[in-house]
């Protein structure tokens, strides 16, 4: 089966193509310029593999959470390509993709992903490995203040976890294990002491290769939909804007 995965949900822009048993990929950090890079990257992997869009069996896209603009660009490109080639599509969470990277690269099976959501919040989720080798969310993904992360996840996290995502760098004091050691005996607050990797996480952004691993399983399970049903997942549904003085 031939599948194309693409993602523009964070500062990273990436694509991955599985074609004729091989994987071709491109990855670039390009904040605020995804619209300039995504289509050329897709064209590059298709040309490298010597395959046409119409020869694909499905398309996988990063559905968020992440940058509102980046998520919309990714979904829009996925819809356009899927419409043109009549392909089924499936969305993959950016948080889940980072957890999958942790399993692929380091064999980590318990992962907390936290992405800086701006506005003093983090997108977050806790993932564990299932019987198909896919990292699955153990509760709905959420957006919370970083200082509330431990209490939010304490009902599902009971053992040492691996941390991924930009949230750990954006809020090092509020999310660090050193801070948790100074907190009270409350189980939610003590949770962060279970973090297994110190310092800055190696995995900061999702990749299309990880989304490819997840998405092809979802497509094989019949979860693909037509292009018009491709939807972003923002997690944060509303954004409040403060008016400037005199406006």
pLDDT tens sequence across 126-183? 999 999 999 999 999 999 999 999 889 989 998 899 999 999 999 988 886 544 544 4
Other residues' Cβ atoms within 10 Å of the Cβ of residue 67:
22
Do both 9 and 89 map to the same domain?
yes
Residue where the block lists tokens 């996480």: 201
Cβ-contact 141, 95 below 8 angstroms: yes
pLDDT tens sequence across 1-51? 999 999 999 999 999 999 999 999 999 999 889 999 999 999 999 999 999
Q: Among candidates 76, 56, 68, which has minimal Cα distance to 215?
A: 56
Do both 89 and 210 map to the same domain?
yes
Do both 171 and 133 map to the same domain?
yes
CATH number at residue 148: 3.30.420.40
User: Buried b vs exposed e over 189-215: b needs ≥16 C-beta within 10 Å?
Assistant: bebbebbebeeebebbbbbbbbbbbbb
pTM of the model: 0.92
Considering the domain boundaries, does residue 31 fall inside one? yes
Query: Hey, which residues does 161 pair with through a beta bridge?
Result: 195
Extract the runs of DSSP E, i.e. beta strands, from 94-170: 110-116, 122-129, 135-137, 142-144, 162-164
- Quick one: CA torsion of 172, 178, 184, 188, rounded to 10 degrees? 60
Do both 188 and 135 map to the same domain?
yes
Do both 109 and 76 map to the same domain?
no
Task: Give the range of the structural domain holding residue 152, as residue numbers without chain letter.
Answer: 95-194
């Amino acid at each position: 089966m031939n599948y194309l995965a693409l993602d523009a949900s964070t500062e990273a822009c990436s694509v991955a193509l599985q074609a004729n048993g091989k994987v071709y990929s491109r990855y670039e950090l390009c904040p605020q310029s995804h619209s300039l890079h995504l289509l050329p990257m897709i064209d590059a992997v298709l040309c490298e593999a010597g395959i046409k869009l119409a020869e694909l069996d499905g398309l996988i896209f990063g559905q968020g959470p992440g940058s509102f603009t980046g998520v919309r660009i990714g979904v829009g490109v996925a819809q356009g390509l899927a419409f043109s080639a009549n392909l089924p599509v499936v969305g993959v969470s950016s948080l889940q993709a980072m957890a999958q990277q942790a399993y692929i690269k380091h064999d980590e099976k318990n992962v907390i992903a936290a992405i800086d959501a701006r506005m003093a919040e983090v997108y977050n989720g806790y993932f564990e490995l299932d019987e198909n080798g896919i990292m699955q969310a153990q509760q709905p993904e959420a957006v919370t203040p970083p200082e509330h992360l431990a209490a939010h996840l304490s009902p599902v996290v009971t053992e040492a976890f691996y941390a991924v995502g930009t949230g750990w760098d954006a809020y090092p004091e509020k999310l660090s294990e050193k801070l948790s050691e100074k907190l009270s005996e409350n189980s939610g607050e003590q949770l962060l002491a279970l973090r297994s990797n110190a310092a800055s996480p190696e995995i900061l952004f999702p990749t299309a290769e990880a989304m490819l691993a997840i998405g092809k399983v979802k497509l094989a399970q019949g979860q693909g939909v037509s292009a018009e049903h491709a939807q972003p997942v923002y997690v944060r549904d509303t954004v409040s804007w403060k008016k400037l003085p005199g406006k």
